[in-house]
Each structure stands twice: as C-alpha cells, then as structure tokens.
Amino acid sequence: MTRQALWRATAGIIGLLCIVTVGLTLVPQWLHPPLSEDELQGVPGADVRIQLQQAQAQLQNNVRATLLQLTAGLLVTVGAAAAWRQAYVNRDGQITERFTRAVDQIGSDNRDVRIGGIYSLERIARNSPSDRSTIQYILAAFVRNHAPWPVGAPDGPQHPTESVDEHLPWMRVRAPDIQAAMGVLGRRVPSQPEEVMYLSRVDLRSVALRGARLTGAQFRHANLARAVLAKVHLEHADLNGADLRRAYLERTQLARANLTGAFLQDADLRDADLSYADLRGANLTGAILDRTVLTGALADRTTIWPSDVDAARRREFGVIEVDQGDPTRS
C-alpha cells in the first residue's frame, strides 16, 4: 500500500469514528429526548419520576446498542468488500504476470519452453474469461508465424503439392509446439458470439485434432493433407481451396462449411455431416462417402465426385446441383 493510500485509509477511519461518535450522542436523544423539568413536575411521586427517567435512559441505550450493531455490521461489510477488492487486485496482478511470462515463453527459441508457454496460456484462459479472446488471437498468430503455407506468394509452395507425403512425421513429432497450440485452440471455451479463428495458409499436414471445436474457423488454402480431424466441429468453417487429401474426417461436423475448390481426394468422410456445405469446384475423387450426410450440399459442373457417385446417387443424397452461371451461387 502506498503512503497516499495509507493516508486516505486513515482519514476514512477517523471520519467514520467521528460520524459514529456524533451518531451515538445525538440520535438517541433525538429519538427519545429526556423528560423536561415541567414534564417531571407533573408526575406524582419521586419513585415514579425516577422510574420514568430510567426508562427513558434505557430507551436511549437501546438505540445506542442498535446503532453500534449496525456500525459493526457495516464495518464487517466494508472490510469484506475491501478484502475482496484486494484479492481481486492481487489475482488480476498475478494473471497479468503469468500472462506476460507465458507470452515471453512462446517467443523463446527453445521448443520445450514454447510448449510450456502455450499450456500456461490455456490455464489463464480457463481462469480469466476476459483474456480468452486475446489468447486465442495470440495462439492463432503463433501457428500462422511458425507453420506458414504462403500460397500465392512469389516463392510460395505448390498448392496442392504433387502428392501427399506419406512419410512426413505426424505433427506431434514434427512440430509438437504447433500440435500443442492447435490442441489448445480446439479446446477453447464456447463463447457467444463465437470468435473467428484465422488459420488461413498454414501448414497443418498430419495434425491430429480429434473432437476439437473449430466452428467458424478460417482455413482458406491451408494444407491439412493427411490430418486426423475425426469428430471435429467445423460447422460454418471456411475451407476454400484447402488441401484435405487423405484426411481422416470420420463423423466430422462440416455443416454449412465453405469447401469451394477444396481438395478432398481419398478423404475419409464416413458418417460426416456436410449438409448445406458448399462443394462447388471441390475434388472428391476417391473420397469415402459411406453414410455421409449431403442434404442440401451445393455442387456444380466443376465438382469432381468419386466414380461410384453418379447423378442418381447425388440426387438420393440430396445434393443441389447448380450451373456455374446460376445466380444462386453467391
């Protein structure tokens, strides 16, 4: 506590004591004023007059006792409020200190230190709702900066690559800090409205995110080849031009997702929900569509289907076929 705060607290206590002293002196006499000489002379008998004076004094004492109880209750309440406020300030300061340390850690050159910082940010997000949006932004930026896939840049990669690298180590081995960051983002606490997660043009090949919550996330032109995304929530996600070849998407929620121009060759979409998803220009050659929900999904002449999914079967699925020049495409 600073000297100025100490003086303020002391002045406040002195002021409260003065108010209490004045109140204990004046309020009882105002509520139960003592009997005047004229009133006492009209009372027959000295014993009766003494009893009246004692009764009047008792009434004043009762008022004083009540005031003291109220004052004590007020002091307890004020003390509790002050203690809560101090605890809140201390907790806020601790969270700020932990937050700063965690951000420093994820900027470290040591991968193990970065992973520790990522999990520290997750704990802070759980305990501090006001920091969740900021932490999500920081972790998404971390993934974009440490696992870029700069499609369209002059020296950017071929997208999609000529083939899926089956020998590329899983993300947890190849880049455990990226796997950790994506895992934390996938465990984010639901919020209303849902914060948009920006993960476009990132290299997430062979990442494993079973059951993650990535609703509404942006993965435009991201490389998710051979990724394990089973049971992941990707409703309303933007996967325009994303590479999802050989991705494991069993029971994945892709309702109303934007999959225009996506590469889904040999993807496992068993029991996945693609209802009302936009599949115009998508390539699903060799994709497994057993029990896949395609009700209301949009497709056009540029959509490439597996060889066993003809027009009749697409109608059976409930796919809506539109022409490239159809105004309903927008």
pLDDT at residue 328 in the model: 43
Taking the C-alpha atoms of 107, 112, 113 and 117 in order, what is their torsion angle to the nearest 10 degrees?
Answer: 80
pLDDT at residue 92 in the model: 61
Closest CA to 67 of 32, 25, 31, 24: 24
pLDDT at residue 18 in the model: 73
CATH of residue 168: 2.160.20.80
- Is the domain of 205 the same as that of 90? no
C-alpha span between 151 and 144 (Å, rounded): 12
Q: Residue 255: CB partners within 8 Å, gap ≥ 6?
A: 235, 236, 273, 274, 275, 276, 277
Please check whether residue 275 lies inside any domain of the structure.
yes
Instruction: List pLDDT tens digits, range 106-152.
Output: 999 999 999 999 999 999 999 898 899 999 999 999 999 999 999 99
- Is the domain of 277 the same as that of 193? yes
Residue after which a domain boundary falls, among 82, 107, 132: 107
Please check whether residue 138 lies inside any domain of the structure.
no
- Enter the tokens of residue 260: 């225009």
- Is the domain of 74 the same as that of 208? no
- Is the domain of 87 the same as that of 166? no
Please check whether residue 265 lies inside any domain of the structure.
yes
Host domain of residue 179: 161-329
C-alpha span between 125 and 100 (Å, rounded): 13
pLDDT at residue 72 in the model: 74
Q: What angle do CA 179, 184, 187 make, to 5 degrees?
A: 125
**Please, are residues 104 and 118 in contact by the beta-carbon 8 Å criterion?**
no
- Is the domain of 191 the same as that of 290? yes
pLDDT at residue 31 in the model: 67
User: pLDDT under 70 in the chain at which residues?
Assistant: 1-6, 9-10, 12-13, 16-17, 20, 22-24, 27-29, 31-32, 34-43, 45-54, 56, 60, 75, 78-93, 192, 324-330
- Is the domain of 93 the same as that of 200? no
Residue after which a domain boundary falls, among 89, 107, 125: 107
- Is the domain of 184 the same as that of 94? no
Q: Burial, 251: exposed, middle or buried (Cβ in 10 Å; 0-12, 13-18, 19+)?
A: middle
Instruction: List pLDDT tens digits, range 46-77.
Output: 666 566 666 767 776 777 777 778 777 776 77
Please check whether residue 5 lies inside any domain of the structure.
no
Closest CA to 292 of 247, 242, 253: 253
Residue after which a domain boundary falls, among 92, 107, 122: 107
Closest CA to 52 of 64, 42, 63, 62: 42
Please check whether residue 133 lies inside any domain of the structure.
no
DSSP state for residue 141 in the 8-state scheme: H
Domain count, the chain: 2
- Is the domain of 25 the same as that of 172? no
pLDDT at residue 62 in the model: 78
- Is the domain of 182 the same as that of 297? yes
- Is the domain of 196 the same as that of 98? no
pLDDT at residue 95 in the model: 74
